[in-house]
Structure 1
């Protein structure tokens, strides 16, 4: 997949993330609770430099009454690694979509192994 990285301004990239979120079926989107999606240029220190996305929070399958009223879960989409991975805008659109679905799935308690089985790995 990797080729010559593409360039894209942050506003256009944010629109790709928004479009990927809009593609989540309404019946699932309604179940997403207390989650914010953030675009960052790169992963935080201590994480792999090529990390595409990250879910920080408590999956719905693991929540109990102690989680209510807390800070929102966070989904990070990392612009730099996604741009580095892709060599065309079409490829970037698909990788952003896969990354968004992957991280939202973690919110629902779906682990990496199951995501790989479903073709999102």
Structure 2
């Protein structure tokens, strides 16, 4: 995909939806109901909670209860959400030269991995399968 302008929130949202649609069905089914949102940067509260100094340090975030910690009796306070952050993703895209769609896909897969409670090694394997 070629861009004559910096990719917008909508461009990244479209890429995230296409990447999600291309994931194996069992993976998509397991995160059904989780919202996938693209925002410019993480908010101050998130940065403080994660002890990050700059918003470009975080490309994505899973917010919710990992499947490994869910029980049938607990009612979630809010739906599971996967955030992709446009500016940090674009900075990484520029710095690495990686294909933007692949980068968006990897961030999405990484955050889905957190939904499953996967280790970083398991998440890296998932990312490499794409």
For Structure 1 versus Structure 2, the TM-score category normalised by the shorter chain is 0.7 to 0.9
Query: How far does residue 93 in structure 1 lie from its aligned partner after superposition?
Result: 1.0
Q: TM-score, normalised by structure 1?
A: 0.80
Unaligned runs of 5+ in 2: none
Using structure 2 for the length normalisation, give the TM-score. Answer: 0.75
Secondary structure class of the residue paired with 2:58: coil
Deviation at 1:35, TM superposition (A): 1.2
Q: Which residue of 2 aligns with 1:81?
A: 88
Alignment of 1:59-98 (within 5 A): 59-68=66-75, 70-87=77-94, 91-98=99-106
Q: How many Å apart are 1:29 and its aligned residue?
A: 1.0
What is the Cα-based RMSD across aligned positions, in Å? 2.5
From the superposition, tell whether residues 33 and 60 of structure 1 become closer, same or farther in structure 2 (CA, over 3 Å): farther
Aligned length: 115
Are residues 92 and 25 of structure 1, via their aligned partners in 2, closer, same or farther at CA, if it must alter by over 3 Å?
same
Report which structure shows greater RCO (CA 8 Å, sep ≥6). Answer: 1
SS at match of 1:7: coil
- 1: distance between equivalents of 2:97 and 2:104? 10
Partner of 2:23: 24
SS at match of 1:65: coil
Shift in CA distance, 119/69, structure 1 to aligned 2, threshold 3 Å:
closer
> Greater CA deviation, 107-116 or 11-20?
107-116
Segments of structure 1 that go 5 or more residues without pairing to the other structure are 1-5
Equivalence for 1:36? 35
SS in 1 for 2:99: helix
